[in-house]
């Protein structure tokens, strides 16, 4: 098992942690941003993290690992590979909730592990949980590389495990000190508002 320091070293070495002025998917602003896509371009660095996260759920009889597009597609694939199960991903269409497309099907017998690279408010995970439940399958856990929720997230009683917990200060746009100083926030993520 990797230690917290080893995990943080991997995240630093692969350029995951960015500093600046960022607009998060939630609409909040922050001076730090975690771009896990940087990690996923290095399979030898990402694989041990995915394997460790998979190990937290090895006794849950997972049959499918699902992640939201685009940030967790590769992550879900690697974790599914570690568990020896299928991997699928949910997508959004403009104005619609997250859903499974491309012929991805779940059955009532499926036991789904939902994964996300970074959890802050849990919005994408909650949408994906609803899509899994709508398909009639059971969500057995939620896993992430990084938990930024400050322990405030609840996925309706579904067990949540992360590799590391980080407390990165966020601000409402009208209270953001960087905005007040004249800095413009950038949106590095993939989700549009």
Q: What is the mean pLDDT of the chain?
A: 93
CB 163 within 8 A of CB 52: yes
Element (H, E) at 30: strand 29-34
Q: How many CB atoms lie within 10 A of CB 53?
A: 23
**Does 4-180 carry CATH code 3.30.565.10?**
no
pTM score of the predicted model = 0.89
CB 15 within 8 A of CB 24: no
Using the predicted structure, report yes or no on whether residue 28 has a pLDDT greater than 70: yes
- List the domain boundaries for the chain: 4-180
Percent of the chain surpassing pLDDT 70: 97
Distance in angstroms (rounded) separating the CA atoms of residues 144 and 114: 9
Q: Can the peptide bond before residue 70 be classed as cis, meaning omega within 30 degrees of 0?
A: yes
Stretch 97-101: mean pLDDT, rounded? 90
- Of the pLDDT bands very low, low, confident and very high (cuts 50, 70, 90), residue 191 is low
Least confident of 31-45, 89-103, 131-145, 178-192: 178-192
Q: What is the DSSP string of 82-140?
A: HHTSEEEEEE--TTS--EE-TT----TT-EEEEEEEEESS-HHHHHHHHHHHHTT-EEE
SS3 (DSSP) at 56: coil
């Amino acid at each position: 098992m990797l230690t917290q320091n080893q995990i943080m070293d991997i995240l630093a070495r692969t350029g995951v942690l960015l500093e600046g002025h960022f607009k998060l998917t939630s609409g909040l602003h922050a001076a730090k941003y975690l771009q896990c896509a940087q990690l996923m371009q290095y399979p030898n660095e990402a694989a041990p993290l995915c394997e460790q996260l998979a190990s937290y759920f090895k006794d849950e009889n997972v049959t499918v690992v699902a992640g939201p597009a685009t940030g967790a597609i590769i992550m879900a694939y690697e974790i599914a590979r570690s568990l020896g199960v299928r991997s699928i991903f949910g997508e959004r269409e403009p104005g619609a909730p997250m859903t499974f497309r491309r012929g991805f099907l779940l059955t009532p017998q499926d036991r789904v592990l939902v994964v996300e690279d970074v959890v802050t408010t849990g919005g994408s995970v909650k949408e994906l949980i609803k899509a899994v439940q709508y398909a009639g399958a059971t969500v057995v856990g939620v896993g992430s590389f990084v938990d930024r929720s400050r322990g405030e997230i609840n996925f309706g009683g579904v067990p949540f495990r992360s590799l590391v917990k980080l407390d990165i200060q966020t601000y409402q746009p009208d209270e953001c000190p960087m905005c007040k100083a004249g800095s413009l926030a950038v949106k590095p993520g993939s989700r549009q508002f």
